[in-house]
Structure 1
Amino acid sequence: KDGAISRAELESSVIHPEDLASFRSEMECSIESGLLDEMTLRILRSDGEVGWVQVSGRFEYDADGTPRKLIGVARDITSERRAEAALRRSESRLRRLVESGIIGVMYWDLDGSVLDANNEFLKMVGFTRGELENGDIDWRAITPPEWQSADAHGIGQLLNVGKMEPFEKEYVRKDGTRVPVLLAGAMFEDSVRQGVILVQDITARKDAERELNKTNDALRRANADLEQFAYSASHDLKEPLRMVGAFSQLLQRRYQGKLDGKADEYLSFCVEGVHRMEDLIRDLLAFTQAAMPSERFAVPPVDTVAVLGRALENLQASIEETDAVVTHDTLPSLQVEAIHLQQLFQNLIGNAIKYRKLTEIPRVHISCARENGAFIVSVRDNGLGIDSRYKDQIFGLFKRLKDSADTTGTGIGLAICQKLVERYNGRIWVDSEVGAGSTFHVLFPFEQEVTAASST
């Protein structure tokens, strides 16, 4: 405020109440000396905010020595004080971080010296604070030879751009053991040789990665052993079956009609039993392969209509035998292995024909819809339908409906479908009502758009 102001006004409306006592004391001392030394006060500003000023001046006296007025200068230092307060808050937060023990902090020099460090860093490398203060820690000396090139790259970044991208390395502890760490750092703004490094101990993460790798290796070996066992078991079981089947058929051809009716019936049972066992072994092998965990690679889109066509070719005999009608909408290309998609179509369409109504021509329709970033392939039929009590059970091994128009089959087809779909992180379910047919839905969780193929 320019111009003169009375002391009473100054004390009542300008100076902050908490600073009045020190102001009055300083004034009394200054009256005797004639000079008001520089002092800092809080003031109440006209906008209601609290400000800071630095005040200094000298007194003028009347002829009798009575102080008449103070001529002084007040400099507004509010912005400086606020900056100092912000700096103190920042330093306090940094100090809490450094002392928290969450992460190691190390101040370094290019010559290898560790200028200072917090307790967490010292604990990582196994040194004491006394050894730090004696200059016994050299960050270059505790870096193994194989990590020195990574260090050099990081130092290059610091010198060029003032900061270092995080990278992993190891330090050699005082006892000779090693600690894996993740580093990030920056140069000091006022220095071309010194900076700060933040150090995170990643021992737990590395241990977890090693355990995971060991588990994955064991799983891969177990999968390979399981696959080999499945093939071996399949071969070992098929060979005696082939022999039984061959001799049963030979007996059937040679003695058909030459023995009594019961003998012919028994031979037929033998031949049919061999065929069913062969089908069972084949489907069990297919189920084992479908259930085998596999690494997921990017699969190129396949022509869904072409794959469906191959599945229908394999079902041609049952389609012609039952006069089944199979139709489909416009179908998009799907990122699924062609052989897996073909197996799905064959099993679902084959089941639709098998579980048909004897009084109607079986009709099967295939469609595909996009929903929430996924493709849902649906296979709808006009067959017998499924009781709601069995909607979940049918996806288990050896589960078959008793009212099938065709008594053949192993009861493994839908279990194979479920395992195949799970390989793609998808799911399969059925909507059905007894007597009203069934619709099997297969969801494949894909995000990208694909090209659609024509419908028939």
Structure 2
Amino acid sequence: MVVFLPPATASSSSLSAKPLKWWPLALWVAAMAVVVVWSAMTVIRDREAFLAQAAFRTQSMADLAAEQVLRTVEGADTALQAARIQFRSMGDWDAVSKDRKTWQMLRDYADALSAVPILYLVDQTGAIRLHGQSFPFRPLSIAEREYFKLHRDTPADMAQVSAPVIGAVTGNQVIIVSRRLFNPDGGFAGVAGATMRADAFQAFFQTLSLGDGSIVNLQRGDGVILARHPVRDGAVGSKVDNSKVFPAISEGGVKGTAVTTSPLDGVARVTAFRRIERYGLVLIAAIPVETVLGEWRRQTIRLAGMVGTGILSLTALFVMLLRRYHNEVAARTELKNSEATLSRAQSVAHIGSWQVELPTDRVRWSEETYRIFGLSPGIPVSMAAVMEMIHPEDRERVREGLDALRGGGGFEVEHRIIAASGEVKWVTARAQITKSETGEPLEILGTVQDITEKMRAETAIREHQALLLEVQSVANLGYYDYDMRTDRWRSSPILDEIFGIGPDYPRSGQGWLDLVTPDMRAEMAAYLGEVQAGDHDFDRAYTITRHGDRAPRWVAGLGKVERDADGKPVRMVGTIRDITEQRRAEQELRDKAAELERSNTELEQFAYVASHDLREPLRMVSSYVDLLARRYGDKLGDDAREFIAFAKDGASRMDRLILDLLEYSRIGRITRPMLPVALGPVVERALRALAPKIEESGAEIATPPEVLPTVLGDGEELMRLFQNLIGNAIKYRSPERAPVISIEAENTGKEWIITVVDNGIGIEPKYYDRVFLIFQRLHRRGEFEGTGIGLAVCKKIVEHHGGRIWVTSTPGEGTRFSVTLPPIGQV
């Protein structure tokens, strides 16, 4: 240093001589002061630089680790949402627990996600009904698990990440990612869960290599530690009070750095965090302050030595500068090592980095970016070549995003690329622009992440949702979401079509009431008021007038009311179905049933009155023909007596026909309660009534009546049924053999099938239906007696009991008449 002094006068020469001899000391003091100040500033600046570098490294590692954790948890969450859609499509736990296809889907998702070994579904009682480990799975209760209670008691639709627990099935320490399952009415249906190994993130955390004493841990928002590297006994599962340790975390910050002291080991560290807001997680990376400042302290000591030596000689100053140079080289080497670690971490997380120099458009990529694009690292890449690799349909959107970035906006675009192999991939590109002090853009720095697997999963979910909408469309079922606090409801396209409304229609309580027909509007307004007051859910059919074409329609509405923590109704979700055609069909059916009942009643009354009144003149005719035969029989010729016999026979047959018609009309008109009836005594009564015919024909009854079952029925009508069937078997016997008749009984569980079997002449198949029609005979009157009403009576008796009657036969060998009767306990 050179100091210029003013010229000295004679009077001052003696005064100036004294300080001049001290100028080397002053110079030394000045130089010393300069060196000390410079050294102190250097030490302080170096300390700040070391801390800033450590803060940058820890924040970078925290951001990188957070991206990896987010990607892993998103993968599990995507699988859970797919499983939830599969459950909604089935909606029945018994069907789900037995559906191997659903189980295989859970297993395939777990196999595709290395960190999620097992997916499972839990019903609303807490029982595991479907477990990816084995099929079928014996139900196992997890009702006491924290995450199950949380989903059961909280209707919010969000993913939950549990504290580390011991798996109820595997017995290993796991972290559970879970989502609530909903019933169609919005109620709690159960939980879909994915187990993640407690050490799922350990391998990735280890690759960060922050140095000895450094830690990386994953916490929930409440401070519970989910994972930690390095492993420390008792750390995982413990809870940290971040309000004291790291207030920025408890205050809700997204990311930040600070020097904190660990409550677990008392070590002060440079700590950075990154919040994963979607799942309520926090990723923390920390390097011990001693590790960060150790080199700084050593450097400071060396600097002090060099400064002391430099005061004595320039050589010492040279040595000090040389050592400082070596220290800077070491720092650059450490920086290169950090960049290599970052590159390895990018490869694990499938996140690459890129840089574009402006205005030359020179592009630089990280190795992971080359891998994503399918190129060999080091190959020169231009901006034009990059744009050519972007999918043609997305290229313009990317250009617009870059233009917006140059204009001061942000850049985050999901788009497709065509890799060198021809494979189409989905990526997320993010970037920011750096500018000079004058505001000129210098370069673009960005990242690119391969999200192909995520997009495929989202595509699968959209396809399932589209299928669900198609099913709703086929069923003509619309749904709505009514916010009672704002008096506003949202509707599906199908519901809009049912109501005939457009997007501008007022979707409020009054808007809905305006659609209700005037005759029901007051009633439905009162009913809506009860629902809004929380008295009950919505379950009512009502009529509307469509807004578009004013067409009247019947609709059926269902709605589930949801309440807040105080029990106040706040929301209702539900469905509305158009039931107009159903109502019309029901009314037409009721009208036809009433008309048929009236017609049958009139017909039965007519038959009864007609047959009763017809017998009176017929008896008079028969009586006078008998009188004529007795008084004048010996005076008449043979022809006259034959004519009288014909008249008497005709009157007798007419009387039998009227009696049979009267009996036919009475069946079902005179109703008696259906009671348990033992068929054995009923058949015995029928056999006693047929005793003369049985004896005359030599018929054999092969089935003892006591083996027959007990059914519900009318004993009198059943006796008539068996009397007619057994009588028919005797009447239509074969002349070549004695009749053998048996009765079979079979219990199907729902009904008794009683069959009367004979070995008579049989019936041709073409007459199977005709034999049950009234007045239908298959033989001439002279061959077999009868009126043709017997089997018609049998059919009416069986139908009165809610059963069926049919016949099978082999002509010349025999016939089987079968009837169904209800068992005890069924009418």
Query: Over residues 272-330 of structure 1, what are the superposed CA-to-partner deviations in whole Å (9 max), with x where a residue is unaligned?
Result: 3222111111223344556x8999x9954421112212222222232233343323253
Determine if contact 2:618/2:651 at 8 Å carries over to the other structure.
Answer: yes
CA distance in 2, matches of 1:90, 1:407: 71
1:127-166 equivalence runs, <5 A = 132=506, 137=511, 139=513, 142=516, 144-148=521-525, 150-152=527-529, 154-155=531-532, 164=537, 166=539
CA distance in 2, matches of 1:135, 1:165: 13
Q: Which residue of 2 aligns with 1:417?
A: 794
Equivalent of residue 703 in structure 2, options 319, 328, 333: 328
Deviation at 1:226, TM superposition (A): 0.7
Q: Which residue of 1 aligns with 2:390?
A: 18
Pair 1:168 & 2:168 matched: no
Q: Which residue of 2 aligns with 1:318?
A: 693
Q: Which residue of 2 aligns with 1:64?
A: none
What 5-or-longer segments of structure 2 have no aligned partner? 1-63, 65-340, 344-352, 354-363, 375-388, 437-441
Equivalent of residue 365 in structure 1, options 742, 758, 773: 742
Equivalent of residue 433 in structure 1, options 806, 811, 815: 811
Determine if contact 1:394/1:414 at 8 Å carries over to the other structure.
Answer: yes
CA distance in 2, matches of 1:168, 1:25: 53
CA distance in 2, matches of 1:404, 1:50: 90
Deviation at 1:368, TM superposition (A): 2.1
Deviation at 1:206, TM superposition (A): 2.2
CA 1:316 to 1:431, structure 2 compared with 1: closer, same or farther past 3 Å? same
1:18 maps to a residue whose letter is I
Pair 1:354 & 2:731 matched: yes
CA 1:257 to 1:312, structure 2 compared with 1: closer, same or farther past 3 Å? farther
Determine if contact 2:476/2:578 at 8 Å carries over to the other structure.
Answer: no
CA distance in 1, matches of 2:404, 2:616: 117
Q: Aligned pair count? A: 432
Larger Cα Rg: Structure 1 or Structure 2? 2
Deviation at 1:51, TM superposition (A): 6.9
CA distance in 2, matches of 1:260, 1:387: 45
Pair 1:9 & 2:367 matched: yes
CA distance in 2, matches of 1:402, 1:362: 19
Q: Which residue of 1 aligns with 2:650?
A: 273
Deviation at 1:103, TM superposition (A): 5.3
Determine if contact 2:768/2:808 at 8 Å carries over to the other structure.
Answer: yes
Deviation at 1:229, TM superposition (A): 0.8
CA distance in 2, matches of 1:71, 1:39: 12
Query: Over residues 383-428 of structure 1, what are the superposed CA-to-partner deviations in whole Å (9 max), with x where a residue is unaligned?
Result: 3444566555444444445489974311222233344445535231
Query: TM-score w.r.t. structure 2 length?
Result: 0.42
Deviation at 1:137, TM superposition (A): 2.6
Pair 1:204 & 2:562 matched: no
2:559 maps to a residue whose letter is G
CA distance in 2, matches of 1:386, 1:98: 53
CA distance in 1, matches of 2:680, 2:623: 39
Determine if contact 2:485/2:571 at 8 Å carries over to the other structure.
Answer: no
Determine if contact 1:302/1:333 at 8 Å carries over to the other structure.
Answer: yes
CA distance in 2, matches of 1:99, 1:265: 80
When the two chains are superposed, the root-mean-square deviation of aligned CA atoms in Å is: 5.5
Q: Which residue of 2 aligns with 1:442?
A: 818
1:356 maps to a residue whose letter is R
Deviation at 1:238, TM superposition (A): 1.0
Query: TM-score w.r.t. structure 1 length?
Result: 0.69
SS of 2:342's partner is coil
CA distance in 1, matches of 2:466, 2:778: 73
Q: Which residue of 1 aligns with 2:617?
A: 240
What 5-or-longer segments of structure 1 have no aligned partner? 62-66, 452-456
CA 1:165 to 1:81, structure 2 compared with 1: closer, same or farther past 3 Å? farther
Of structures 1 and 2, the one scoring higher in RCO (CA 8 A, sep 6+) is 1
Determine if contact 1:167/1:184 at 8 Å carries over to the other structure.
Answer: yes
Determine if contact 2:742/2:756 at 8 Å carries over to the other structure.
Answer: yes
2:661 maps to a residue whose letter is L
Equivalent of residue 679 in structure 2, options 296, 300, 304: 304
Deviation at 1:237, TM superposition (A): 0.9
Equivalent of residue 284 in structure 1, options 624, 649, 661: 661
Determine if contact 2:481/2:491 at 8 Å carries over to the other structure.
Answer: yes
CA distance in 2, matches of 1:226, 1:155: 54
Q: Which residue of 2 aligns with 1:454?
A: none
CA distance in 2, matches of 1:387, 1:43: 76
CA distance in 1, matches of 2:682, 2:500: 64
CA distance in 2, matches of 1:141, 1:390: 59
1:25-40 equivalence runs, <5 A = 39=412
Compare 257-266 and 357-366 and name the one that shifted more. 257-266
Q: Percent identity?
A: 28
CA 1:50 to 1:77, structure 2 compared with 1: closer, same or farther past 3 Å? closer
Q: Which residue of 1 aligns with 2:14?
A: none
CA distance in 1, matches of 2:540, 2:508: 29
CA 1:449 to 1:183, structure 2 compared with 1: closer, same or farther past 3 Å? same
Determine if contact 1:14/1:43 at 8 Å carries over to the other structure.
Answer: no
1:169-184 equivalence runs, <5 A = 169-171=542-544, 179-184=553-558
CA distance in 1, matches of 2:745, 2:529: 56
Determine if contact 2:496/2:502 at 8 Å carries over to the other structure.
Answer: yes
